[in-house]
Amino acid sequence: MQSLAQEIQSFSRTRLKKQCTRVTSLSGRRIIETWKGTSITVEEEHGAAGRALGYVPDTSWDLQVGAIRPYLLLGSQDAAHDFATLQKHKVSHILNVAFGVDNVFPELFIYKTISILDQPDTKLTPHIQECCDFITQARNEKGVVLVHCNTGVSRAPAVIIGYLMSCDSLSFEDALSLVQTARPNSAPNPGFMEQLQKYQSPAMNGGLH
């Protein structure tokens, strides 16, 4: 009977099973990576489109900008990074409430960055007053402010809802409706929604706490 050491020494690569890995690239192209001996062969998978389950990644830019007020816009980081879009909407101020997203035109626009994590347990309301101050500054300077996060779906809409409740005395329901009308895919995470709903009463009584 061979010892384990002898079995390992006598083992041949030819006894290894051929291993295949299927990969879907960002462009949606499907390829097969096959190990043969010590090398890897890459080939495109044919006829997979009809059989494949999953998703097709959307790599197009989201340049849709929602107008909340003439001076207040809502969008994604794509809109904030596209100079033509910013020019088109006469943006002068940019409020960046994303986490880890750069301000790409610091010499051309007035920026305010407040890094907020898009997590249900993130405390949103302590940031609202600072956001309100910046939006009010843009308005007083006859400017137009774009509020954005990464996708313009959760954090930026939540901040604008808070602003509308605080500075325009809107109810939570009216502020949410206005934001979703301007940008239909707006959907603050459940934690933000709960905080803003609870926030309604003090906001209507003269300020956020």
User: Does residue 102 share a domain with residue 3?
Assistant: no
User: Does residue 77 share a domain with residue 55?
Assistant: no
Q: Is 177 a domain residue?
A: yes
User: Does residue 129 share a domain with residue 160?
Assistant: yes
Reported as a single tens digit per residue, the pLDDT across 76-116 is: 999 999 999 999 999 999 999 999 899 999 999 999 999 99
Dump strand ranges (E) for the chain.
Answer: 19-24, 30-36, 39-44, 66-69, 72-75, 93-96, 110-113, 145-148
- Look at residues 59, 80, 98 and tell me which one is the last residue of a structural domain: 59
User: Does residue 124 share a domain with residue 107?
Assistant: yes
- Look at residues 28, 59, 90 and tell me which one is the last residue of a structural domain: 59
Q: Is 209 a domain residue?
A: no
- Look at residues 59, 82, 101 and tell me which one is the last residue of a structural domain: 59
Domain count, the chain: 2
Q: What is the mean pLDDT of the chain?
A: 82
Residues identified as active-site: 149
* Percentage, residues of the chain above pLDDT 90: 65
For 3, 67, 192, the CA distances from 64, given in Å and listed in that order, are 68, 10, 23
Reported as a single tens digit per residue, the pLDDT across 39-86 is: 555 565 555 444 444 545 556 788 999 999 999 999 999 999 999 999
The reported pLDDT for the residue numbered 199 is 86
* Domain span including residue 194: 66-204
**DSSP helix, strand, coil percent of the chain (3-state; round to 5):** 35, 20, 45
Q: Is 108 a domain residue?
A: yes
CB–CB of 146/69 below 8 Å?
A: no
What's the CATH code of the domain at 78?
3.90.190.10
User: Does residue 181 share a domain with residue 113?
Assistant: yes
Segment 149-160 mean pLDDT: 96
User: Does residue 197 share a domain with residue 148?
Assistant: yes
The reported pLDDT for the residue numbered 206 is 47
For 36, 70, 107, 194, the CA distances from 135, given in Å and listed in that order, are 60, 12, 19, 23
User: Does residue 78 share a domain with residue 23?
Assistant: no
